[in-house]
A = this chain, B = another copy of it.
């Protein structure tokens, strides 16, 4: 049962601006509506007529929850073996500054996932007003701490802190988020290997590979080019020898270009921006979007739900396979963080 969809509540400076300001339209090109109205379930069912040739049956659902359970079960076994050789559990340090509720929720989710597979966590909480030097000091100590195999600085940081400079001082060999430019550069450059691949992009590829989707030689379109998701996904798909096009706010005909793709990855942060009509029949669709949307229940109460970038009800009729939101890349992403931390601990064994 779905209530009226209201304003975008989170993730979304970009989403908000787009939904509420017609001046933002130019950023997205002339082929998009002036004011984007998030589709309701009834409008969705009628608009599915705009889709490309319908599949014989709805798309295969790429179940991230199931895949995450399988991956984590494997990781838990490996953690046991690593612990024996290392004499201690692999360790993940999470640095969180201030009291943002969403940040603390994410930290809790990560801690719980670590606990489940036997990875130790060390959470360093700093106050909202902490100085750059104080944060540098904490990260530097974690860089030197041999119990810590992975370091995450939970983003976003308070505006007074220079996010880039802080990411730059994380030891690239412990940068399990894969956000350090050294890791990103090594990901971009063929023939080189980063210590870590960012978790969400890695989960996208993992999901495709585990679902038996062939990437080599396929045309892939990545809708969105954020530096921590869209960009590294483009780089990864190219590493797997797809022919990649990146569609973004300045692209004049995003629907037309996306319709050429065998694999579509959406990471824009605007609910439902990728319509069924944007897809070639039989395309594989990975939805990286996770926008928190406020809804009103029939009895007038507010509730929130997570929405993807792909108009699921339309897409499921056109695509051959699709990730749901939630329950698609999200759970796999957390598994990739565990996997990165495990990999780092394994490297520590080889070094020691």
Where the two chains meet, the residues of A that have a C-beta atom closer than 8 Å to any C-beta of B are 29, 164, 180-192, 216-217, 219, 225-227, 231, 235, 238, 241-252, 257
Contact = CB atoms under 8 A, between A and B. Distances in A.
Contacts of A245: 243-246
B192 A227 contact: yes
Given A184-B185, A190-B225, A227-B189, A246 B248 contact: no
B227 A190 contact: yes
A231 B185 contact: no
Identify the 9 closest CB pairs spanning chains A and B, nearest first. A185-B185, A181-B185, A184-B185, A245-B245, A241-B250, A189-B227, A243-B251, A181-B186, A217-B250
Contacts of A182: 181-182, 185
Contact of A243 (B190, B216, B242, B248): B248
Nearest to A183: B185
Contacts of A189: 181, 184, 227, 231
Complex copy number for this chain = 2
A238 B246 contact: yes
13 contacts: A29-B217, A164-B191, A181-B185, A184-B185, A188-B227, A188-B235, A189-B231, A190-B225, A216-B250, A225-B238, A238-B246, A238-B248, A244-B245
A257 B249 CA distance: 21
Contacts of A242: 250
Contacts of A252: 217, 243
Given A245-B244, A246-B238, A250-B216, A188 B188 contact: yes
A248 B243 CA distance: 7
Contacts of A243: 245-248, 250-252, 257
A265 to B, nearest CB: 14
A294 B184 CA distance: 40
A245 B237 CA distance: 12
A217 B248 CA distance: 9
Contacts of A180: 185
B231 A190 contact: yes
Contacts of A231: 188-190
A217 B251 contact: yes
Given A182-B182, A184-B185, A189-B227, 6 more contacts: A181-B185, A181-B186, A190-B231, A238-B246, A241-B248, A243-B246
A82 to B, nearest CB: 27
A172 to B, nearest CB: 9
A224 to B, nearest CB: 11
A184 B188 contact: yes
Contacts of A181: 181-182, 185-186, 188-189, 192
A296 to B, nearest CB: 36
A202 B273 CA distance: 34
A182 B219 CA distance: 29
Contacts of A225: 190, 238
